Structure 1
Amino acid sequence: MTPPVPPEDDLELALRLGDLADGLTVRRFHALDLRVREKPDRTPVTDADTAVETAVRAELRSARPDDAFAGEETGGSVSSGRTWLVDPIDGTKNFLRGVPVWATLIALLEDDRPTVGVISAPALHSRWWAAADRGAWLRRGPAGTTPVRLGVSGRTRLDQAYLSTTSTRTWDVFHSRAAYLRLAEACWEDRAFGDFLQHCMVAEGTLDIAAEPVVNPWDIAAVQVLVEEAGGLCTDLLGTSPRNGTGALSANPRLHRLALKALSAPPAAPGPPGP
Protein backbone atom coordinates (compact mmCIF):
# COMPACT_ATOMS: atom_id res chain seq x y z
CA MET A 1 0.00 0.00 0.00
CA THR A 2 1.35 3.41 -0.95
CA PRO A 3 1.93 5.58 2.13
CA PRO A 4 -0.03 8.83 2.20
CA VAL A 5 1.74 11.94 0.91
CA PRO A 6 2.37 14.35 3.80
CA PRO A 7 0.64 17.69 3.43
CA GLU A 8 2.64 20.52 1.94
CA ASP A 9 3.82 22.84 4.72
CA ASP A 10 3.48 26.61 4.46
CA LEU A 11 7.10 27.28 3.50
CA GLU A 12 7.04 24.59 0.82
CA LEU A 13 3.84 26.13 -0.53
CA ALA A 14 5.32 29.64 -0.56
CA LEU A 15 8.41 28.40 -2.41
CA ARG A 16 6.22 26.66 -4.97
CA LEU A 17 4.23 29.88 -5.41
CA GLY A 18 7.55 31.63 -6.03
CA ASP A 19 8.24 29.18 -8.85
CA LEU A 20 4.81 29.87 -10.29
CA ALA A 21 5.41 33.62 -10.17
CA ASP A 22 8.88 33.34 -11.72
CA GLY A 23 7.50 31.48 -14.69
CA LEU A 24 5.11 34.33 -15.40
CA THR A 25 7.39 37.30 -14.70
CA VAL A 26 10.41 36.04 -16.63
CA ARG A 27 8.24 35.46 -19.68
CA ARG A 28 7.04 39.09 -19.65
CA PHE A 29 10.31 40.80 -18.68
CA HIS A 30 11.60 42.75 -21.71
CA ALA A 31 8.41 41.84 -23.62
CA LEU A 32 7.79 44.29 -26.44
CA ASP A 33 4.02 44.00 -25.97
CA LEU A 34 4.05 44.56 -22.19
CA ARG A 35 0.85 46.35 -21.22
CA VAL A 36 1.16 49.12 -18.63
CA ARG A 37 -1.48 51.29 -17.00
CA GLU A 38 -1.32 53.95 -14.29
CA LYS A 39 -3.13 53.44 -10.99
CA PRO A 40 -4.89 56.32 -9.19
CA ASP A 41 -1.77 56.92 -7.07
CA ARG A 42 0.18 57.29 -10.35
CA THR A 43 2.20 54.11 -9.81
CA PRO A 44 2.41 51.72 -12.78
CA VAL A 45 0.96 48.23 -13.02
CA THR A 46 1.75 45.80 -15.83
CA ASP A 47 -0.05 42.78 -17.19
CA ALA A 48 2.65 40.70 -15.50
CA ASP A 49 1.67 42.09 -12.08
CA THR A 50 -1.97 41.15 -12.52
CA ALA A 51 -1.17 37.74 -14.04
CA VAL A 52 1.06 36.77 -11.12
CA GLU A 53 -1.37 37.91 -8.45
CA THR A 54 -4.32 36.21 -10.14
CA ALA A 55 -2.40 32.92 -10.47
CA VAL A 56 -1.10 32.98 -6.89
CA ARG A 57 -4.53 33.84 -5.51
CA ALA A 58 -6.10 30.95 -7.43
CA GLU A 59 -3.44 28.50 -6.20
CA LEU A 60 -3.94 29.61 -2.59
CA ARG A 61 -7.68 29.31 -2.93
CA SER A 62 -7.11 25.65 -3.81
CA ALA A 63 -4.27 24.87 -1.38
CA ARG A 64 -5.43 26.96 1.62
CA PRO A 65 -9.15 27.64 1.11
CA ASP A 66 -9.66 28.78 4.70
CA ASP A 67 -6.90 31.40 4.65
CA ALA A 68 -7.43 35.08 3.83
CA PHE A 69 -5.58 36.81 1.00
CA ALA A 70 -4.44 40.39 0.41
CA GLY A 71 -2.58 41.51 -2.70
CA GLU A 72 -1.38 44.81 -4.06
CA GLU A 73 -3.40 44.61 -7.27
CA THR A 74 -6.53 42.62 -6.46
CA GLY A 75 -7.11 43.70 -2.87
CA GLY A 76 -8.20 41.84 0.21
CA SER A 77 -7.63 42.48 3.90
CA VAL A 78 -5.67 41.00 6.80
CA SER A 79 -7.75 38.75 9.02
CA SER A 80 -7.21 37.93 12.69
CA GLY A 81 -6.03 34.43 11.77
CA ARG A 82 -4.00 33.47 8.71
CA THR A 83 -3.51 35.85 5.78
CA TRP A 84 -1.30 35.50 2.72
CA LEU A 85 0.18 38.78 1.49
CA VAL A 86 1.44 39.07 -2.08
CA ASP A 87 3.26 41.79 -3.96
CA PRO A 88 3.41 40.32 -7.47
CA ILE A 89 6.26 42.58 -8.62
CA ASP A 90 8.02 44.75 -6.08
CA GLY A 91 9.92 47.20 -8.26
CA THR A 92 7.44 47.52 -11.13
CA LYS A 93 9.16 50.69 -12.40
CA ASN A 94 12.38 48.70 -12.75
CA PHE A 95 10.51 45.82 -14.41
CA LEU A 96 8.91 47.95 -17.10
CA ARG A 97 12.18 49.82 -17.82
CA GLY A 98 14.19 46.60 -18.16
CA VAL A 99 16.13 47.00 -14.90
CA PRO A 100 16.56 43.50 -13.35
CA VAL A 101 16.00 44.59 -9.72
CA TRP A 102 12.46 43.39 -9.00
CA ALA A 103 10.94 40.48 -7.11
CA THR A 104 7.75 38.70 -6.14
CA LEU A 105 7.08 38.90 -2.39
CA ILE A 106 4.98 36.21 -0.70
CA ALA A 107 4.31 36.15 3.04
CA LEU A 108 2.06 34.39 5.51
CA LEU A 109 0.78 36.34 8.50
CA GLU A 110 -0.51 34.43 11.51
CA ASP A 111 -2.30 36.65 14.00
CA ASP A 112 -0.58 39.65 12.35
CA ARG A 113 2.95 38.23 12.65
CA PRO A 114 4.81 37.10 9.51
CA THR A 115 5.82 33.46 9.87
CA VAL A 116 6.83 32.68 6.28
CA GLY A 117 8.44 34.90 3.67
CA VAL A 118 9.71 34.29 0.14
CA ILE A 119 11.38 36.96 -2.00
CA SER A 120 12.03 35.68 -5.51
CA ALA A 121 14.11 37.80 -7.91
CA PRO A 122 14.64 35.62 -11.00
CA ALA A 123 16.34 38.32 -13.09
CA LEU A 124 18.97 38.52 -10.33
CA HIS A 125 19.09 34.70 -10.13
CA SER A 126 18.35 35.07 -6.41
CA ARG A 127 15.76 33.83 -3.97
CA TRP A 128 15.60 34.64 -0.27
CA TRP A 129 13.29 32.88 2.18
CA ALA A 130 12.63 32.46 5.87
CA ALA A 131 10.19 30.85 8.27
CA ALA A 132 9.74 31.33 11.99
CA ASP A 133 12.42 29.45 13.94
CA ARG A 134 13.84 27.97 10.71
CA GLY A 135 16.38 30.65 9.79
CA ALA A 136 16.86 32.97 6.82
CA TRP A 137 18.29 31.62 3.58
CA LEU A 138 19.54 32.71 0.17
CA ARG A 139 19.94 30.69 -3.00
CA ARG A 140 21.92 32.51 -5.65
CA GLY A 141 21.87 30.55 -8.88
CA PRO A 142 19.58 27.95 -10.48
CA ALA A 143 17.30 25.59 -8.58
CA GLY A 144 19.44 22.97 -6.91
CA THR A 145 22.17 25.42 -5.92
CA THR A 146 23.02 24.97 -2.24
CA PRO A 147 21.46 27.79 -0.20
CA VAL A 148 23.41 29.70 2.43
CA ARG A 149 22.12 30.71 5.84
CA LEU A 150 22.01 34.46 6.44
CA GLY A 151 22.97 36.66 9.36
CA VAL A 152 22.93 40.42 9.87
CA SER A 153 26.18 42.34 10.27
CA GLY A 154 27.87 42.76 13.62
CA ARG A 155 28.67 46.46 13.27
CA THR A 156 27.80 48.52 16.32
CA ARG A 157 28.43 52.16 15.35
CA LEU A 158 26.66 54.39 12.88
CA ASP A 159 29.96 55.68 11.55
CA GLN A 160 30.70 52.10 10.44
CA ALA A 161 27.27 51.54 8.90
CA TYR A 162 26.25 51.24 5.25
CA LEU A 163 22.76 52.73 4.83
CA SER A 164 20.19 52.45 2.03
CA THR A 165 16.81 53.95 1.25
CA THR A 166 14.44 53.74 -1.72
CA SER A 167 13.98 57.39 -2.71
CA THR A 168 14.95 60.51 -0.79
CA ARG A 169 12.01 62.37 -2.35
CA THR A 170 9.51 60.26 -0.41
CA TRP A 171 11.02 61.43 2.90
CA ASP A 172 9.64 64.92 2.22
CA VAL A 173 6.13 63.55 1.79
CA PHE A 174 5.90 60.83 4.41
CA HIS A 175 8.40 61.64 7.16
CA SER A 176 11.24 64.16 7.13
CA ARG A 177 14.08 64.58 4.68
CA ALA A 178 16.04 66.34 7.43
CA ALA A 179 15.67 63.28 9.66
CA TYR A 180 16.95 60.98 6.93
CA LEU A 181 19.86 63.26 6.17
CA ARG A 182 20.81 63.28 9.86
CA LEU A 183 20.96 59.51 9.77
CA ALA A 184 22.85 59.47 6.46
CA GLU A 185 25.41 61.97 7.71
CA ALA A 186 25.99 59.84 10.81
CA CYS A 187 26.64 56.72 8.71
CA TRP A 188 29.78 55.64 6.89
CA GLU A 189 28.06 55.55 3.48
CA ASP A 190 24.59 55.70 1.98
CA ARG A 191 23.08 54.51 -1.29
CA ALA A 192 19.59 53.95 -2.72
CA PHE A 193 19.41 50.23 -3.48
CA GLY A 194 15.69 50.46 -2.76
CA ASP A 195 12.60 48.33 -2.24
CA PHE A 196 12.99 44.66 -1.24
CA LEU A 197 16.68 44.45 -2.13
CA GLN A 198 17.97 46.71 0.62
CA HIS A 199 16.20 44.72 3.35
CA CYS A 200 17.46 41.44 1.88
CA MET A 201 20.99 42.88 1.91
CA VAL A 202 20.58 43.76 5.60
CA ALA A 203 19.64 40.12 6.24
CA GLU A 204 22.75 39.07 4.29
CA GLY A 205 24.97 41.42 6.31
CA THR A 206 26.17 43.26 3.19
CA LEU A 207 24.17 46.36 4.18
CA ASP A 208 23.77 47.49 7.77
CA ILE A 209 20.61 49.66 7.72
CA ALA A 210 17.64 49.96 5.36
CA ALA A 211 15.21 52.81 6.00
CA GLU A 212 12.20 54.01 4.05
CA PRO A 213 9.40 56.36 5.11
CA VAL A 214 6.39 54.52 3.68
CA VAL A 215 5.54 50.88 2.93
CA ASN A 216 2.42 48.81 2.35
CA PRO A 217 1.79 45.54 4.21
CA TRP A 218 2.61 43.41 1.13
CA ASP A 219 5.89 45.33 0.66
CA ILE A 220 7.33 44.48 4.05
CA ALA A 221 5.92 41.27 5.57
CA ALA A 222 8.18 38.86 3.65
CA VAL A 223 11.34 40.85 4.31
CA GLN A 224 10.39 41.36 7.97
CA VAL A 225 10.53 37.63 8.73
CA LEU A 226 13.73 37.34 6.66
CA VAL A 227 15.50 40.09 8.62
CA GLU A 228 14.24 38.79 11.97
CA GLU A 229 15.30 35.21 11.25
CA ALA A 230 18.73 36.59 10.28
CA GLY A 231 19.04 38.09 13.76
CA GLY A 232 17.92 41.64 12.99
CA LEU A 233 14.96 43.88 13.70
CA CYS A 234 12.45 45.19 11.17
CA THR A 235 9.99 47.79 12.46
CA ASP A 236 8.45 51.03 11.35
CA LEU A 237 10.25 54.32 11.99
CA LEU A 238 8.67 54.48 15.46
CA GLY A 239 9.82 51.03 16.53
CA THR A 240 6.44 49.32 16.12
CA SER A 241 4.96 47.05 13.42
CA PRO A 242 6.20 47.94 9.93
CA ARG A 243 2.71 47.22 8.62
CA ASN A 244 1.35 50.33 10.35
CA GLY A 245 2.21 52.36 7.25
CA THR A 246 4.79 54.55 9.01
CA GLY A 247 7.85 53.35 7.14
CA ALA A 248 10.30 50.52 7.65
CA LEU A 249 13.67 50.23 9.36
CA SER A 250 15.84 47.09 9.20
CA ALA A 251 19.16 46.63 11.00
CA ASN A 252 20.89 44.57 13.64
CA PRO A 253 19.54 45.33 17.14
CA ARG A 254 22.30 47.76 18.14
CA LEU A 255 22.21 49.80 14.91
CA HIS A 256 18.42 49.68 14.87
CA ARG A 257 18.31 51.45 18.23
CA LEU A 258 20.82 54.07 17.10
CA ALA A 259 19.02 54.64 13.78
CA LEU A 260 15.66 55.08 15.51
CA LYS A 261 17.24 57.68 17.78
CA ALA A 262 18.78 59.54 14.84
CA LEU A 263 15.49 59.56 12.92
CA SER A 264 13.52 60.90 15.89
CA ALA A 265 16.03 63.47 17.16
CA PRO A 266 14.91 67.11 16.89
CA PRO A 267 16.79 69.28 14.39
CA ALA A 268 19.99 70.80 15.71
CA ALA A 269 19.66 74.36 16.97
CA PRO A 270 21.26 76.97 14.71
CA GLY A 271 24.69 78.15 15.75
CA PRO A 272 25.46 81.67 16.94
CA PRO A 273 25.47 84.37 14.27
CA GLY A 274 28.80 85.14 12.70
CA PRO A 275 30.72 88.29 13.37
Structure 2
Amino acid sequence: MVNDTAYSDDLRLALSLADASDRISMERFRSNDLKIDNKPDMTHVTEADLAVERSIRDTLAEERPEDAVHGEEYADAEGTSGRRWVLDPIDGTADYVRGNPVWGTLIALFDENDRPVVGVASAPALGKRWWAVKGGGAFAGPTEGHKGEVERLHVSDVSSVSDAFVSISALSTWKRYGKVDAVVELLDDAWRERAYGDFYHYCLLAEGALDVAAECVVSLWDLAPLAVIVEEAGGRFTDLKGNPGPAGGTALATNGNLHDELLKRVGL
Protein backbone atom coordinates (compact mmCIF):
# COMPACT_ATOMS: atom_id res chain seq x y z
CA MET A 1 0.00 0.00 0.00
CA VAL A 2 1.39 3.39 -1.07
CA ASN A 3 -0.70 6.43 -0.21
CA ASP A 4 -0.65 9.36 -2.64
CA THR A 5 1.81 11.94 -1.27
CA ALA A 6 4.63 14.06 -2.64
CA TYR A 7 6.98 11.14 -1.97
CA SER A 8 4.84 8.28 -3.30
CA ASP A 9 7.18 7.54 -6.21
CA ASP A 10 10.15 7.55 -3.87
CA LEU A 11 8.41 5.09 -1.56
CA ARG A 12 7.63 2.81 -4.49
CA LEU A 13 11.29 2.92 -5.44
CA ALA A 14 12.35 2.18 -1.86
CA LEU A 15 10.02 -0.82 -1.71
CA SER A 16 11.44 -2.08 -5.00
CA LEU A 17 14.97 -1.65 -3.63
CA ALA A 18 13.93 -3.66 -0.58
CA ASP A 19 12.62 -6.49 -2.78
CA ALA A 20 15.93 -6.74 -4.61
CA SER A 21 17.88 -6.50 -1.34
CA ASP A 22 15.83 -9.27 0.25
CA ARG A 23 16.63 -11.61 -2.61
CA ILE A 24 20.36 -10.96 -2.29
CA SER A 25 20.52 -11.27 1.50
CA MET A 26 18.34 -14.39 1.68
CA GLU A 27 20.44 -16.17 -0.94
CA ARG A 28 23.47 -16.02 1.40
CA PHE A 29 21.65 -16.34 4.75
CA ARG A 30 22.80 -19.42 6.71
CA SER A 31 25.24 -20.27 3.92
CA ASN A 32 28.12 -22.48 5.04
CA ASP A 33 30.62 -20.51 2.95
CA LEU A 34 29.47 -16.97 3.78
CA LYS A 35 32.46 -14.63 3.63
CA ILE A 36 32.82 -12.60 6.84
CA ASP A 37 35.36 -9.87 7.61
CA ASN A 38 35.95 -7.51 10.52
CA LYS A 39 35.85 -3.75 10.04
CA PRO A 40 38.27 -1.41 11.90
CA ASP A 41 35.74 -1.06 14.75
CA MET A 42 35.73 -4.90 15.00
CA THR A 43 32.11 -5.22 13.88
CA HIS A 44 31.27 -7.79 11.23
CA VAL A 45 30.74 -7.13 7.55
CA THR A 46 29.70 -9.93 5.22
CA GLU A 47 29.67 -10.32 1.47
CA ALA A 48 25.89 -9.93 1.71
CA ASP A 49 26.17 -6.49 3.38
CA LEU A 50 28.42 -5.33 0.56
CA ALA A 51 26.32 -6.86 -2.22
CA VAL A 52 23.07 -5.39 -0.90
CA GLU A 53 24.44 -1.89 -0.54
CA ARG A 54 26.13 -2.05 -3.93
CA SER A 55 22.86 -3.14 -5.55
CA ILE A 56 20.91 -0.30 -3.94
CA ARG A 57 23.53 2.26 -4.91
CA ASP A 58 23.62 1.05 -8.51
CA THR A 59 19.85 1.39 -8.82
CA LEU A 60 19.80 4.82 -7.17
CA ALA A 61 22.53 5.99 -9.55
CA GLU A 62 20.17 5.16 -12.41
CA GLU A 63 16.83 6.16 -10.90
CA ARG A 64 17.83 9.14 -8.69
CA PRO A 65 21.21 10.33 -10.06
CA GLU A 66 20.89 13.78 -8.50
CA ASP A 67 20.36 12.47 -4.95
CA ALA A 68 23.20 11.93 -2.47
CA VAL A 69 23.72 8.52 -0.84
CA HIS A 70 25.03 7.78 2.66
CA GLY A 71 25.49 4.14 3.65
CA GLU A 72 27.27 2.01 6.19
CA GLU A 73 29.67 0.14 3.92
CA TYR A 74 30.78 2.57 1.18
CA ALA A 75 31.88 6.19 0.88
CA ASP A 76 29.25 8.88 0.46
CA ALA A 77 28.01 9.68 -3.04
CA GLU A 78 27.46 13.39 -3.54
CA GLY A 79 24.30 14.80 -5.08
CA THR A 80 22.91 18.06 -6.41
CA SER A 81 19.23 17.80 -5.42
CA GLY A 82 19.66 18.43 -1.69
CA ARG A 83 18.05 15.06 -0.99
CA ARG A 84 19.89 12.12 0.54
CA TRP A 85 19.29 8.37 0.73
CA VAL A 86 20.54 6.66 3.90
CA LEU A 87 21.18 2.91 3.83
CA ASP A 88 21.95 0.07 6.20
CA PRO A 89 22.23 -3.00 3.96
CA ILE A 90 21.92 -5.47 6.84
CA ASP A 91 21.00 -4.07 10.22
CA GLY A 92 21.77 -6.82 12.72
CA THR A 93 24.77 -8.33 10.94
CA ALA A 94 25.73 -10.26 14.07
CA ASP A 95 22.33 -11.98 13.96
CA TYR A 96 22.73 -12.60 10.24
CA VAL A 97 26.11 -14.24 10.82
CA ARG A 98 24.76 -16.49 13.59
CA GLY A 99 21.69 -17.54 11.61
CA ASN A 100 19.18 -15.63 13.72
CA PRO A 101 16.27 -14.24 11.66
CA VAL A 102 16.08 -10.78 13.29
CA TRP A 103 17.96 -8.64 10.76
CA GLY A 104 16.85 -6.39 7.96
CA THR A 105 17.63 -3.88 5.26
CA LEU A 106 16.95 -0.24 6.16
CA ILE A 107 16.32 2.40 3.49
CA ALA A 108 15.43 6.05 4.08
CA LEU A 109 15.11 9.23 2.07
CA PHE A 110 15.86 12.62 3.60
CA ASP A 111 14.40 15.78 2.05
CA GLU A 112 16.11 19.07 1.24
CA ASN A 113 15.80 20.08 4.90
CA ASP A 114 17.55 16.87 5.98
CA ARG A 115 14.40 15.34 7.48
CA PRO A 116 13.49 11.68 6.92
CA VAL A 117 10.41 11.51 4.71
CA VAL A 118 10.46 7.90 3.45
CA GLY A 119 11.39 4.83 5.45
CA VAL A 120 11.46 1.10 4.75
CA ALA A 121 12.63 -1.67 7.08
CA SER A 122 12.51 -5.10 5.46
CA ALA A 123 13.15 -8.33 7.38
CA PRO A 124 12.91 -11.16 4.83
CA ALA A 125 13.87 -13.96 7.22
CA LEU A 126 10.86 -12.92 9.31
CA GLY A 127 8.76 -12.49 6.18
CA LYS A 128 7.77 -8.97 7.23
CA ARG A 129 8.31 -5.38 6.17
CA TRP A 130 7.46 -1.97 7.65
CA TRP A 131 7.27 1.30 5.75
CA ALA A 132 6.11 4.89 5.99
CA VAL A 133 6.06 8.13 4.07
CA LYS A 134 5.77 11.56 5.65
CA GLY A 135 2.11 12.51 5.80
CA GLY A 136 0.98 9.13 4.47
CA GLY A 137 0.93 6.89 7.53
CA ALA A 138 2.91 3.80 8.55
CA PHE A 139 2.20 0.26 7.40
CA ALA A 140 3.40 -3.32 7.74
CA GLY A 141 2.96 -6.29 5.47
CA PRO A 142 4.61 -9.42 4.10
CA THR A 143 7.85 -9.44 2.17
CA GLU A 144 8.00 -10.81 -1.36
CA GLY A 145 6.89 -14.45 -1.51
CA HIS A 146 5.10 -14.41 1.85
CA LYS A 147 1.38 -14.23 2.54
CA GLY A 148 -0.31 -11.74 4.81
CA GLU A 149 -2.39 -8.59 4.95
CA VAL A 150 -1.13 -5.03 4.87
CA GLU A 151 -2.08 -3.21 8.06
CA ARG A 152 -1.88 0.42 9.08
CA LEU A 153 0.17 0.92 12.21
CA HIS A 154 -0.54 2.85 15.37
CA VAL A 155 1.36 3.03 18.62
CA SER A 156 -0.19 1.98 21.93
CA ASP A 157 -2.05 4.29 24.30
CA VAL A 158 -0.20 3.07 27.42
CA SER A 159 0.39 6.04 29.72
CA SER A 160 2.18 4.55 32.74
CA VAL A 161 5.63 2.97 32.98
CA SER A 162 4.15 0.34 35.26
CA ASP A 163 2.00 -0.82 32.32
CA ALA A 164 4.72 -0.51 29.69
CA PHE A 165 6.75 -2.95 27.63
CA VAL A 166 10.26 -1.44 27.51
CA SER A 167 13.05 -2.58 25.19
CA ILE A 168 16.63 -1.33 25.45
CA SER A 169 20.05 -1.96 23.94
CA ALA A 170 22.62 -3.96 25.92
CA LEU A 171 23.21 -2.65 29.44
CA SER A 172 26.94 -2.57 28.77
CA THR A 173 26.45 0.22 26.24
CA TRP A 174 24.83 2.44 28.86
CA LYS A 175 27.97 2.39 31.01
CA ARG A 176 29.67 5.09 28.98
CA TYR A 177 26.98 7.55 30.04
CA GLY A 178 26.72 6.36 33.64
CA LYS A 179 23.10 5.39 33.10
CA VAL A 180 23.08 1.72 34.09
CA ASP A 181 21.46 2.32 37.49
CA ALA A 182 18.78 4.55 35.97
CA VAL A 183 18.04 2.01 33.24
CA VAL A 184 17.83 -0.87 35.72
CA GLU A 185 15.43 1.15 37.87
CA LEU A 186 13.30 1.85 34.80
CA LEU A 187 13.20 -1.83 33.89
CA ASP A 188 12.27 -2.74 37.45
CA ASP A 189 9.36 -0.29 37.29
CA ALA A 190 8.13 -1.42 33.86
CA TRP A 191 5.55 -4.13 33.35
CA ARG A 192 7.95 -6.12 31.14
CA GLU A 193 11.50 -5.53 29.97
CA ARG A 194 12.98 -6.80 26.72
CA ALA A 195 16.12 -6.26 24.62
CA TYR A 196 15.01 -6.89 21.06
CA GLY A 197 17.59 -4.46 19.70
CA ASP A 198 18.45 -3.12 16.26
CA PHE A 199 15.55 -2.12 13.99
CA TYR A 200 13.11 -4.62 15.46
CA HIS A 201 12.04 -2.94 18.69
CA TYR A 202 11.19 0.30 16.86
CA CYS A 203 8.98 -1.61 14.44
CA LEU A 204 7.25 -3.40 17.31
CA LEU A 205 6.70 -0.02 18.95
CA ALA A 206 5.08 1.31 15.76
CA GLU A 207 2.79 -1.74 15.83
CA GLY A 208 1.72 -0.98 19.41
CA ALA A 209 3.38 -4.16 20.74
CA LEU A 210 6.03 -2.18 22.67
CA ASP A 211 5.78 1.19 24.37
CA VAL A 212 9.43 2.28 24.72
CA ALA A 213 12.63 1.55 22.74
CA ALA A 214 15.95 3.13 23.66
CA GLU A 215 19.59 2.89 22.57
CA CYS A 216 22.63 4.92 23.54
CA VAL A 217 25.21 3.83 20.92
CA VAL A 218 23.81 4.01 17.41
CA SER A 219 24.49 5.47 13.95
CA LEU A 220 22.27 7.41 11.56
CA TRP A 221 21.85 4.46 9.18
CA ASP A 222 20.61 2.32 12.09
CA LEU A 223 17.70 4.70 12.71
CA ALA A 224 16.94 6.69 9.58
CA PRO A 225 13.80 4.89 8.32
CA LEU A 226 12.62 3.97 11.79
CA ALA A 227 12.11 7.57 12.86
CA VAL A 228 9.52 8.23 10.15
CA ILE A 229 7.87 4.83 10.70
CA VAL A 230 7.45 5.51 14.43
CA GLU A 231 6.27 9.08 13.93
CA GLU A 232 3.79 8.18 11.19
CA ALA A 233 2.41 5.52 13.54
CA GLY A 234 1.69 8.27 16.06
CA GLY A 235 4.80 7.91 18.23
CA ARG A 236 7.66 10.19 19.13
CA PHE A 237 11.32 9.73 18.12
CA THR A 238 14.24 11.75 19.56
CA ASP A 239 17.76 11.27 20.80
CA LEU A 240 18.36 10.90 24.53
CA LYS A 241 18.73 14.67 24.85
CA GLY A 242 15.27 15.20 23.43
CA ASN A 243 16.36 16.44 19.99
CA PRO A 244 13.90 15.20 17.35
CA GLY A 245 15.01 12.85 14.60
CA PRO A 246 17.51 10.02 14.14
CA ALA A 247 20.79 11.95 13.87
CA GLY A 248 21.81 12.36 17.52
CA GLY A 249 23.87 9.20 18.01
CA THR A 250 21.40 7.93 20.62
CA ALA A 251 17.71 7.10 20.37
CA LEU A 252 14.51 7.17 22.37
CA ALA A 253 11.24 6.13 20.76
CA THR A 254 7.96 5.95 22.62
CA ASN A 255 4.23 5.98 22.04
CA GLY A 256 4.39 9.69 22.92
CA ASN A 257 2.61 9.43 26.25
CA LEU A 258 5.74 8.21 28.03
CA HIS A 259 8.38 10.28 26.27
CA ASP A 260 8.91 13.16 28.68
CA GLU A 261 9.11 10.84 31.68
CA LEU A 262 11.62 8.62 29.90
CA LEU A 263 13.82 11.59 29.02
CA LYS A 264 13.86 12.56 32.69
CA ARG A 265 14.75 9.04 33.77
CA VAL A 266 17.32 7.87 31.23
CA GLY A 267 17.99 10.98 29.11
CA LEU A 268 21.37 12.67 28.83
Match of 1:270 in 2: none
Matching residue's letter, 2:103: W
Note closer, same or farther for the CA distance 1:85–1:174 as it changes in structure 2 (3 Å cut): farther
Partner of 1:94: 95
Mapped partners of 1:175, 1:32: distance in 2: 41
- Please tell me whether residue 33 in structure 1 is matched to residue 33 in structure 2: yes
The CA distance in 2 between the partners of 1:29 and 1:220, in whole Å, is: 23
CA deviation vs aligned residue, 1:156-192 (integer Å, no higher than 9, x gap): 0011100001211111135621232232222111111
Q: Is the 8 A contact 2:157 2:255 kept in 1?
A: yes
Moved more, 118-127 or 232-241: 232-241
Residue 3 of structure 2: aligned partner? none
- Counterparts of 1:256 and 1:8, CA distance in 2: 30
Letter paired with 1:173: R
Counterpart-to-counterpart distance in 2, 1:186 and 1:68: 44
1:181 to 163, 184, 187: 184
- CA distance in 2 between counterparts of 1:31 and 1:45 reads 15
Conserved? CA contact 2:67–2:78, under 8 Å: no
1:78 to partner: Cα distance: 8.5
Name the structure 1 match of 2:129.
127
State how far apart, in whole Å, the 1-side matches of 2:78 and 2:170 are. Answer: 27
Q: Which runs of at least 4 in structure 1 moved beyond 6 Å after TM superposition? A: 77-80
Q: 1:104-119, aligned counterparts within 5 Å?
A: 104-110=105-111, 111-119=113-121
Contact kept? 1:108, 1:115, Cα under 8 Å: yes
Please state whether the residue corresponding to 1:201 is helix, strand or coil: helix
User: For this pair of structures, how many residues does the alignment match?
Assistant: 259
Map 1:45-60 to 2 at 5 A.
Answer: 45-60=45-60
Do the aligned residues in 2 keep the contact of 1:182 with 1:263 (CA within 8 Å)?
no
Structure 1 gap ranges (5+): 1-6, 266-275
Q: What is the CA–CA distance in structure 2 between the aligned matches of 1:32 and 1:172, rounded to whole Å? A: 36
Report sequence identity in percent: 46
Point out the structure with max Rg over C-alpha. Answer: 1
Contact persistence 1:164–1:193 (CA under 8 A): yes
* Superposition pairs of residues 170-209 of structure 1, within 5 angstroms: 170-174=173-177, 176-209=179-212
Structure 1 residue 243 displacement after superposition: 3.4
Corresponding position of 2:22: 22
Q: Is the 8 A contact 2:227 2:246 kept in 1?
A: no
Q: Which residue of 2 aligns with 1:251?
A: 254
> How far does the alpha carbon of each residue in 1:69-114 deviate from its partner, in whole angstroms, 9 at most, with x for none?
0000003179792100000000000000000000000000112111
CA contact (8 A) 1:163 1:190 kept: yes
Q: Could you tell me how far apart the structure 2 residues matched to 1:78 and 1:161 are?
A: 43
- 3-state DSSP of counterpart to 2:33: coil
Q: Distance in 1 between matches of 2:263 and 2:11?
A: 31
Give the TM-score taking structure 1 as reference length: 0.89
- Tell me the equivalent position of 1:73: 73
Deviates more, 1:238-247 or 1:16-25: 238-247
Letter in 2 for 1:99: N
Partner in structure 2 of residue 272 of structure 1: none
TM-score, length of structure 2 as denominator length: 0.92
